[in-house]
Amino acid sequence: MSIKIFENTDELLKEYSHVYLLGKGLNLSMLSSVAEFSGKNMLFLVPSDCYPEDDVKALNEYRMISAEETKNILDLYRTYEFSDKFHFLSSPSDQNYGSLMNYVRNGILTEEEGYAAMLKQ
pLDDT, one tens digit for every residue, the chain (121 residues) = 344 555 677 788 888 888 889 988 888 888 888 888 887 888 999 999 888 888 888 888 899 998 888 888 888 777 766 678 888 887 766 554 566 777 787 788 888 888 888 777 4
Start-to-end Cα distance in the chain: 30
On whether residue 90 sits in a domain, the answer given is yes
Which residues span the domain enclosing 58? 6-119
Q: Which residues contact 44 (CB under 8 A, 6 or more apart)?
A: 19, 20, 22, 31, 35, 56, 59, 61, 62, 63
On whether residue 1 sits in a domain, the answer given is no
The DSSP bridge partners found for residue 31 are: none
Look at the chain and report how many structural domains it folds into: 1
CA–CA separation, 27 and 40 (whole Å): 19
On whether residue 63 sits in a domain, the answer given is yes
- CATH assignment of the domain containing 39: 3.40.50
0.85 surpassed by pTM: no
Tell me if residue 82 falls in helix, strand or coil: coil
On whether residue 31 sits in a domain, the answer given is yes
